[in-house]
Amino acid sequence: MKLSTPPIAPKTLTALNRLGITTLADLRETGSVKAFLLLKAAGCTVTQSTLWQLEALLLGVAATDLSEAQKAALNQKIKQHMPVSVFPTPSEMASFMQTALRQAEQSGQTGEIPVGAVVVHNGRIIAAAHNTCVQDCNISHHAEIRALAQAGAALNNYRLDGCDVYITLEPCAMCASALIQARVKRVIFGAAEPKTGAAGSVLNLFENSLLNKHTAVLGGVLADECRNLLQAFFQKKRG
């Protein structure tokens, strides 16, 4: 069933459609809380009544039928929800991830685990790095940490507000923590890391309500290419 106006306000409906939420099934998959946060992230001026309306649509009732307890529960979910953002277009993200992949290839050529990262600010790459842990005898020299250091120097600020970081592999707990502390806007990664991934595979530091929440995360961009590079590296190493 297509979302329509009424009951949704015309401007809100247009914004939802731009976000790819056009049907009740789309809204159910996204959830009322995330849809509401996406509207805010897209720059829409929305009030709590919009949240009530979205939830009411999912329940098949009128917004006025929501109880105070239901509204309080929704507000609590808003507070606990991990950061949400409207991410760049798939083609733009793929382009930046290709650059990160080229960095990862440099790691592999020197015997390092092939992981690359780039930092993007205002649509421009300001830092690019790859793993050099073995070369530098320094466990902290993961691609992400090195890219953050470069970006900090480029912007003359250790806080990287408004920056996006593209990484070929899901960040570990060390790197996820550094990304959070740097307050980057968005983290986009390629392949999942089932053994040490701290963006959803083993744990998700980005959604931990006890930590500062500034960073939205999206995985799976050029996942096959990123995964194939890693697999080829380890197959060669074992062979």
pLDDT tens digit sequence for 116-167: 999 999 999 999 999 999 999 999 999 999 999 999 999 999 999 999 999 9
Yes or no: domain 90-238 corresponds to CATH 3.40.140.10: yes
Q: Is the pLDDT of residue 213 over 80?
A: no
Q: What is the pLDDT of residue 80?
A: 85
pTM (2 d.p.)? 0.89
Cβ atoms of 198 and 171 closer than 8 Å: yes
Q: What is the pLDDT of residue 237?
A: 82
Q: Is the pLDDT of residue 231 over 90?
A: yes
Q: What is the pLDDT of residue 199?
A: 96
Q: Where in the chain is CATH 3.40.140.10?
A: 90-238
CATH of domain 10-80: 1.10.150.20
Mean pLDDT of 42-54: 93
Q: What is the pLDDT of residue 171?
A: 98
Assess whether 112 carries a catalytic annotation. Answer: no
Structure tokens at 238: 């074992």
Instruction: Quote the CA–CA distance of 26 and 73 in Å, as a whole number.
Output: 22
Nearest Cα to Cα of residue 223 among 89, 90, 86: 90
The answer to the question of whether 142 is labelled as a binding residue is yes
Q: Select which of 55, 112, 144, 193 is catalytic.
A: 144
